[in-house]
């Protein structure tokens, strides 16, 4: 990672503090610890390699050296934002989709926390909270993006196919510019997180909208239905095969197209 290029690219954004690591276990772990010890709002941890990158439920996220973008952004939610914290994963996903669409790519959100390019996973998002009593004090938005082809793990290690920006854009990808655009989008969208149009915007970005999907839960349950859209809290709305309404809440869920 060329830190100077990153510093230049981010210099005009109203960020808190920025920490760079050539190699780290997990940027989310670093950001969670930093969030509890005084990191200002919009501080960010960026790493060129993660040796213990995490997905949801401690699944692994691969960030081999020099091939991916891995960062964690710390937010201190305002009183106005606190009722809408379950929308944060949407905020992050929309910012990634927007930054990729600005490059002419067709990016979509695979609910709840993946971004797809041409139907394959190019980015994953992990939002974690720091609690103070009953209240969320800080949020950490972790985002991993496969920049070069080497970042995407081989198919036998994955349950869903992966891709990289390089596969769509060739070698002309500047991770620092992508990072700038994602952060600028998060900053611009954040004041709208509580609006109805935020949900509409998020719904429009959903992959498989209007299509039959299968939702597998960690407890072995699974449901099939047509993906309709989102509830106000960001839960997924499906219409079941008997015409029944299904609401899928965040948690241990995996979404797949149903063929
Ligand atoms: C995610 O979880 O997709 C969230 C990934 C978040 C990673 C970021 S990187 C910065 C920050 N620091 C961290 O430690 N984490 C965050 P989930 O939906 O549970 O998907 C995990 C699954 O994605 C794994 O079980 C693999 O099958 C697959 N996977 C792992 N690495 C991948 C990669 N580089 N590209 C595509 N798929 C991958």
Give the CATH number for residue 240.
Answer: 2.30.30.100
How far apart (Å, rounded) are the C-alpha atoms in residues 117 and 207? 10
- Tell which one of 35, 74, 124, 142 to mutate to probe ligand 1, the residue whose CB is within 8 A of the most ligand atoms: 124
* pLDDT tens-digit readout, 171-193: 788 999 999 999 999 999 999 99
Determine the distance separating the centroid of ligand 1 and the alpha carbon of 142, expressed in angstroms.
10
- Same-domain status, 238 and 124: no
Q: Give the CATH number of the domain where residue 48 resides.
A: 3.30.930.10
* Nearest CA among 192, 214, 181 for reference residue 101: 181
ω before 13 within 30° of 0 (cis)? no
Q: Is 130 helix (H, G, I), strand (E, B) or coil?
A: strand
- Same-domain status, 133 and 229: no
- Same-domain status, 143 and 230: no
Whether 33 lines ligand 1, by a CB cut-off of 6 Å, is: no
> What is the pLDDT, as a whole number, of residue 168?
94
* Nearest CA among 156, 157, 163 for reference residue 118: 163
**Tally of structural domains, the chain:** 2
- Same-domain status, 189 and 128: yes
Q: Which domain holds residue 217?
A: 212-255
Contact in structure between 23 and 65 (CB atoms under 8 Å) = yes
> What is the pLDDT, as a whole number, of residue 251?
83
- Of 167, 185, 204, which residue is a domain's last? 204
- Same-domain status, 49 and 81: yes
Which residue reads 């989709």 in tokens? 97
Q: For residue 218, give every residue at least 6 positions away whose Cβ sits within 8 Å of its Cβ, in sequence order, or none.
A: 57, 251, 252, 253
Whether 144 lines ligand 1, by a CB cut-off of 6 Å, is: yes
Determine the distance separating the centroid of ligand 1 and the alpha carbon of 241, expressed in angstroms.
31
- Same-domain status, 119 and 219: no
Q: Report residue 114 CA to chain centroid gap.
A: 6
- Same-domain status, 68 and 195: yes
* pLDDT tens-digit readout, 29-65: 999 999 999 999 999 999 999 999 999 988 999 999 9
> What is the pLDDT, as a whole number, of residue 252?
79
Tell me the average pLDDT across 233-241.
96
Whether 226 lines ligand 1, by a CB cut-off of 6 Å, is: no
């Amino acid at each position: 990672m060329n830190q100077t290029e990153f510093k230049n690219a981010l210099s005009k954004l109203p960020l808190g503090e920025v920490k760079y690591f050539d190699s780290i276990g997990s940027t989310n772990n670093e950001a969670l610890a930093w969030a509890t010890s005084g990191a200002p709002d919009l501080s960010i941890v960026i790493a060129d390699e993660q040796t213990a990158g995490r997905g949801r439920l401690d699944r692994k996220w691969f960030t081999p050296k020099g091939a991916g973008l891995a960062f964690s952004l710390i937010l201190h939610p305002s009183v106005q934002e606190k009722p809408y914290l379950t929308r944060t994963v949407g905020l992050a996903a929309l910012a990634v989709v927007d930054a990729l669409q600005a490059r002419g790519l067709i990016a979509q959100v695979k609910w709840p926390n993946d971004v797809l390019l041409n139907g394959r996973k190019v980015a994953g998002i992990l939002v974690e909270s720091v609690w103070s009593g009953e209240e969320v004090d800080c949020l950490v938005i972790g985002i991993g993006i496969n920049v070069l082809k080497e970042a995407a793990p081989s198919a036998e290690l994955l349950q869903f196919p992966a891709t990289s920006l390089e596969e769509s854009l060739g070698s002309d990808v500047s991770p620092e510019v992508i990072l700038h655009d994602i952060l600028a989008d998060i900053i611009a969208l954040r004041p709208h997180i509580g609006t109805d149009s935020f949900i509409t915007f998020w719904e429009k970005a959903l992959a498989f909208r209007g299509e039959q999907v299968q939702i597998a839960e960690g407890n072995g349950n699974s449901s099939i239905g047509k993906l309709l859209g989102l509830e106000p809290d960001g839960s997924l709305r499906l219409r079941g095969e008997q015409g029944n309404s299904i609401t899928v809440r965040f948690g241990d869920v995996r979404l797949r197209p149903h063929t």
